[in-house]
Structure formats: structure tokens, C-alpha cells
Amino acid sequence: MCGQVSDYIGFKTRDQRESCYLLLYIVSCMFNVTLDICTTYYMAREILKGLDFRTYYGVKIAEVDTFTEQFETYAMQRILAENVKAYCFPATFLIPFLIEPFITVYLPYKIGQCMVRTHPEWTGRDAELWMVAFEFDMGRYGDLLLNMLLGVLIFFFPGGYTLMLFFGMAFSHMYIYAFDHCRVIRTIPKCVYSNMQVDWWAQFMLAPITATILTALVYKANCQGWGYCIRSMRLLEACTGAFFLHFAVHVLLLLKVVPALTKTPTPSADLDDQTFVDCAKEYPCSWFSANPIHCLRSKYIYEDSPPCSYYILGKEHLQQVNEAINCYFQDDIAEEESYDTGLAQSFHDLTQSFNAPSMKKTGTTKSKN
């Protein structure tokens, strides 16, 4: 739904669309986590009441009135810590990402393969669009930030699960990185982001997560000899104040200090004399080739020979040079992979490629540019 809303808004650039999607996705996930935490707390409280658990001083849990005192009891801390650990690893940190390759790569490919095979009228570009993989979105930022938030929650409870949780997070993120690396290299059709806008908003959304660490520190240091010992709602107010204070400082540093410490990139001397012709020879997508109306006018109204070819990813070799209409790009067709060899031959080729001093990568539809 976040992706549909971001598409419906109609941003002009992919970076703006992904930034909006990132914000909506993270906020929706945080609402979901908050709902899960509240539900888990109320279920744990009713379980402890039903089992007639008591505090360290012998008071029944059902007779403890305030939220903070209920939350600080050892029984509540233990059952919530167990639930957070089970919620995080492997349920959130690992299992969804083990399923993701089948949902986002293998299953769509097999469905597209079946559709193309059973519909002979779908040929050319229509068949290719059914077989192409999904574009890589920036929802992965949200996944990682959500994992970080869940990992921080363990600091509110006894430390018995801390190492286990963070080692599980580290292992899971190593797998996520490896999967994304293979997906970008082997699967997605393209990945183009022209600025740091998405990354900046990801750093902005890191602010509430790091602020949660200070909130946990204020909570755990209460009445532990650090100069303050407060109870009831005052403790909640102190934790909330620490959260917003840390959030404000984080955002202020991000807006003021980080830009001041960043060096302004200086353009390379090699690019000073570069012209449009030089760029058009290197990159197939230009203002002319990316404009379908211009391409139609070039062919049917101006009757250029050859006309300006419309840029399609993977079809760069079809573009023709016509300097009179600012078309300068040309390229050879990409070498196709062969799927006719047997398993033994494929394994032999794979081992030979690893044993070779240098590996040569071949693509199915991507040109050298």
C-alpha cells in the first residue's frame, strides 16, 4: 500500500518516490510494532494475574496499580524479554528474508514463464515485461531500521538475551547483504539514484531509533545511584523527555553540523571540456531518446533517416547514429547466456570461471554501458 500511495502521488523523479515510500513504510512498520508491543504487554499482564504471580515483596501483580511498577516487576520483565527475543530472532530478523527470494525473484519468474508459454500471442516486448524482475526499491532501508528498533527494545529488560539477540541480528544482516548483492548484480533490470535524498531521509529516520537508546538508559539508570530516583508517571515523563531531546539533537546535527563538515566536491578537470556530444556517445538515455513524442515526430513528421530511437532498457543496440538530430550513441548487442547446456557442463564452466585469473561477466540484456 505504501508503494501504491507513492506511485499515485506522481513524483517526477525516482529518488522522490523512494523517499516518500521509505517514510511511509517505516512509519507504518513502527505503528505495527507499537501495536504488537501493547498487545504483548496486556497479554503478559493477564497471564501473570491468572497465574497469581507476586512481586519481590510478595504483592500480587493484580494488586499493583501503576504501569511503571507493573513493568518493573521481575516476572513482567522476564516474560516481556522472552517475547521480544522470540519476536526478533528468528521471526523478524531472519525468516522473512529467507522467504523473500522465493516471493520476489523465483515465484514471479515462474509465473511470467508460465504466462508467456501459455499465451503465444504475447511476443516481443510484452513477453519480456512478463519475464523481467521487479525493480529494487529502497524498502530495505526500512527493514534494517525496523530491525535496529527491535534490537534496541531488549535494553529495557534484563540482559540475558542481549548477546543472543545481537549475534542473531549480525548473522541475519550478513545474509541480507549477500542476498541484496546477488539480487542487484544478477536479477534487477536497473538501479539508478541520482542524489543522496533517500539516504538523507534514512538518516533522519534513524533519529527516533537512536533516541530509544537514551530512553532505555534513563529508564535502567533510575534509582541505581546516578543522582535521581523517580516513580510512577514522572519516570514516563523523564523517558519521553529524553527521547524528544535526543531526537532534536540528532536532527539538528544532521541539518547543521554534517553539511558543515562535508567537503564540496570539486568537478574533475577531465569533465571541464566535456560536451553533450561526448556524453551522448557514452549514455544511450538522453533528452531526445527518452522522449517518446520526440521520437514519433522524428519518424512521422520530420521523416529523419534514421529517426531518433526511443530508449528502452536492454535495447540500446537498436539506437542509430544521426548527428543531425543529436543522436550519437551506438552499441553492439549484448552476448546472451546459453541455457541449452547440461548441468555437468554448467558446473564445469562455473569451476573454470573461478579458476581463471579473471572472470568475464556476461549479461542477458544489459549493454556495456
Q: What are the backbone angles phi and psi of residue 305, rounded to the nearest 5°?
A: -135, 110
User: pLDDT class for 352, splitting at 50, 70, 90?
Assistant: low
Which range of 19-33, 179-193, 264-278, 342-356 scores highest in mean pLDDT? It is: 19-33
Asked if 160 and 279 sit in the same domain, the reply is no
pLDDT at 365: 40
Locate 86 and state its grid cell.
522470540
pLDDT mean across residues, the chain: 85
Residue 93's alpha-carbon distances to 76, 85, 89, 203, in angstroms, are: 24, 10, 5, 20
- Domain edge (last residue) among 159, 180, 212: 212
Residue 99 to residue 104: CA distance in whole angstroms: 9
Asked if 278 and 207 sit in the same domain, the reply is no
pLDDT at 244: 96
Asked if 206 and 284 sit in the same domain, the reply is no
In DSSP notation, 213-243 reads HHHHHHHHTTTTTSS----HHHHHHHHHHHH
238 is a domain residue: no
pLDDT digits (tens, 9 = 90+) for 2-46: 889 998 998 888 888 889 999 999 999 889 988 998 999 999 999
Question: Using the 8-state DSSP alphabet, how is residue 195 labeled?
Answer: S
Asked if 290 and 204 sit in the same domain, the reply is no
- Domain edge (last residue) among 212, 247, 262: 212
Burial 262-293 (b: 16+ CB within 10 A, else e): eeeeeeeeeeeeeeeeeebeeebbbebbeeee
User: pLDDT class for 270, splitting at 50, 70, 90?
Assistant: low
Residue 305 to residue 318: CA distance in whole angstroms: 14
Residue 85: CA count within 13 A, CB half-sphere: 17
CB 142, CB 25: distance < 8 Å: yes
Task: Decide if pLDDT at 259 tops 50.
Answer: yes
Task: Decide if pLDDT at 148 tops 80.
Answer: yes
User: pLDDT class for 360, splitting at 50, 70, 90?
Assistant: very low
- Give 312's strand partners: none
363 is a domain residue: yes
Q: Count CB neighbours of 57 within 10 A.
A: 6
Residue 141's domain spans which residues?
2-212
Locate 90 and state its grid cell.
528468528
Asked if 62 and 155 sit in the same domain, the reply is yes
252 is a domain residue: no
173 is a domain residue: yes
Asked if 178 and 51 sit in the same domain, the reply is yes
Residue 56 to residue 308: CA distance in whole angstroms: 81
- Give 322's strand partners: 327
User: pLDDT class for 124, splitting at 50, 70, 90?
Assistant: confident
In DSSP notation, 40-54 reads HHHHHHHHHHHTT-B
Residue 360 to residue 309: CA distance in whole angstroms: 30
User: pLDDT class for 363, splitting at 50, 70, 90?
Assistant: very low
Task: Decide if pLDDT at 349 tops 60.
Answer: no
300 is a domain residue: yes
pLDDT at 367: 39
Question: Percentage of the chain with pLDDT > 90?
Answer: 44
Residue 365's alpha-carbon distances to 61, 169, 336, in angstroms, are: 65, 36, 7
Locate 207 and state its grid cell.
533519529
227 is a domain residue: no
CB 280, CB 325: distance < 8 Å: no
Asked if 142 and 285 sit in the same domain, the reply is no
Asked if 199 and 50 sit in the same domain, the reply is yes
pLDDT at 241: 95
312 is a domain residue: yes
pLDDT digits (tens, 9 = 90+) for 184-241: 888 888 877 778 888 999 999 999 999 999 999 999 998 888 888 888 889 999 999 9
Asked if 198 and 292 sit in the same domain, the reply is no
Those residues whose C-beta lies under 8 Å from the C-beta of residue 314, and which sit 6 or more positions away, are 128, 189, 334, 364, 365, 366, 367
11 is a domain residue: yes
Higher-confidence residue of 256 and 267: namely 256
User: pLDDT class for 268, splitting at 50, 70, 90?
Assistant: low
Backbone region of residue 173 per phi and psi (left: phi > 0; alpha: psi in -120 to 50; beta: other values): alpha
Those residues whose C-beta lies under 8 Å from the C-beta of residue 36, and which sit 6 or more positions away, are 87
- Domain edge (last residue) among 212, 237, 261: 212
CB 341, CB 347: distance < 8 Å: no
Mean pLDDT, range 163-172, rounded to an integer: 93
Task: Decide if pLDDT at 342 tops 80.
Answer: no
pLDDT digits (tens, 9 = 90+) for 75-111: 889 899 999 999 999 999 999 999 999 998 899 999 9
> Helix, strand, coil proportions of the chain in percent (round to 5)?
65, 0, 35
Residue 55 to residue 53: CA distance in whole angstroms: 7
Task: Decide if pLDDT at 174 tops 90.
Answer: yes
User: CA angle 198-23-182, nearest 5°?
Assistant: 55
Grid coordinates 551522448 are at which residue? Answer: 280
Number of domains composing the chain: 2
Asked if 333 and 197 sit in the same domain, the reply is no
Element (H, E) at 110: helix 107-118
